[in-house]
Amino acid sequence: MASQFLSKGDILLHQFPDNETYVKILSPIKNADVILYATLSQPNQKILPLIFSASTARLLGAKSVGLIAPYLPYMRQDTVFEFGEGVTSRYFANLISKNFDWLITVDPHLHRYKTLHEIYSIPTYVLSANDLISQWIRLNLHRPGIFGPDAESHPLISSISEKLNVPYFNAKKIRLDDNQVILSLPTIEGSFSFAVIIDDIISTGGTVIQLIKFLQQTITQPIVVIAVHPLFANDAYNKIISCGIRELVSCNSIPHLSNKIDLSPLILNSISSLL
């Protein structure tokens, strides 16, 4: 087990009155392989303290500095949609690649990029929550049908439906703006007792709410929603719950009261193989 090789270190982070960050690493790390674990939802306020911590680890003589970011932000702006826009996924990848020796993450939002290697120049280890999500469904829902809201959800929902040997249905999504999307679904065939919507990221909730509404007009089975990365911007969580679904469940890549699927065994295993 990786935990045999790991010891927990302490960092003191302090905000000065003007909001600049003070960093002090309290644990001895000379010649150590240092791993920083960061929840990178709301990344703008976290990234400077993270980079400063990595630089301080190097100053103190760390042999290597790796990053575990179960949720990898800035993956969705993966092209120039309109002239003048920045491709922030690349800028973010450059920043991380310059400051870390390797990265472990879970189900990053890969759409136009097929792999993280296209933008990250350090070794990246991409884990998937699909086994843990399948396990949760197997234990909690009898005869599920799996639904994905867009093309990007296809790898996740197809692998989960294969593991569970149950049908899946993949919607098509057209995004109008940050909050509004239009969805269309293929004919729903086959028998199932629960409709399980699975998406990698829930941010405003607009995407899953459209799919919930569509399904509520089409089928009578109870609906369960599962998110790998529960960003839940503003009041997204309450908006989704108030749609009248059976349950909203998430992985703990971002701490939230909906967390029911623990990613730590997955991450610990990957550290074991890495070490």
Stretch that binds ligand R5P, among 119-127, 139-147, 149-157, 265-273 (CB under 6 A): 149-157
The answer to whether residue 73 forms part of the interface with ligand R5P (CB under 6 A) is no
Which structure tokens are listed for 238?
């309450």
Q: Which is nearer to ligand R5P, 18 or 82 (CB)?
A: 82
Are the C-beta atoms of 148 and 159 separated by less than 8 Å?
A: no
Map the footprint of ligand R5P across residues 45-64, applying CB under 6 A: none
Based on the shown chain and the rule CB under 6 A, indicate whether residue 130 belongs to the binding site for ligand R5P.
Answer: no
Q: How many residues bind ligand R5P (CB under 6 A)?
A: 14
Place of tokens 């569970």: 164
Q: Quote the least distance from Cβ 90 to ligand R5P, whole Å.
A: 18
Report if residue 78 touches ligand R5P, rule: CB under 6 A.
no
Q: Supply 15's token pair.
A: 């905000």
Which is closer to ligand R5P, CB of 66 or CB of 148? 148
CB-based burial, 243-272: b 16+ in 10 Å, e otherwise: bebebbbbbbbbebebbebebeebbeebbe
Q: Is 108 in the site for ligand R5P (CB under 6 A)?
A: no
Furthest-apart CA atoms within the chain: distance in Å: 61
Identify which of residues 51 and 231 has a Cβ nearer to ligand R5P in the complex.
Answer: 231
Closest approach of ligand R5P to the CB of residue 92, in Å = 16
The correct pick among 202, 225, 245, 248 for binding ligand R5P (CB under 6 A) is 202
Each as own residue / partner, the long-range contacts of residues 43-51 (CB below 8 Å, 24 or more positions apart, any chain) are 43/73, 43/74, 43/92, 47/95, 48/21, 49/13, 49/21, 49/23, 51/95, 51/99
Tell me if 203 contacts ligand R5P by CB under 6 A.
yes
Binding site for ligand R5P (CB under 6 A): 109, 149-150, 152-153, 199-207
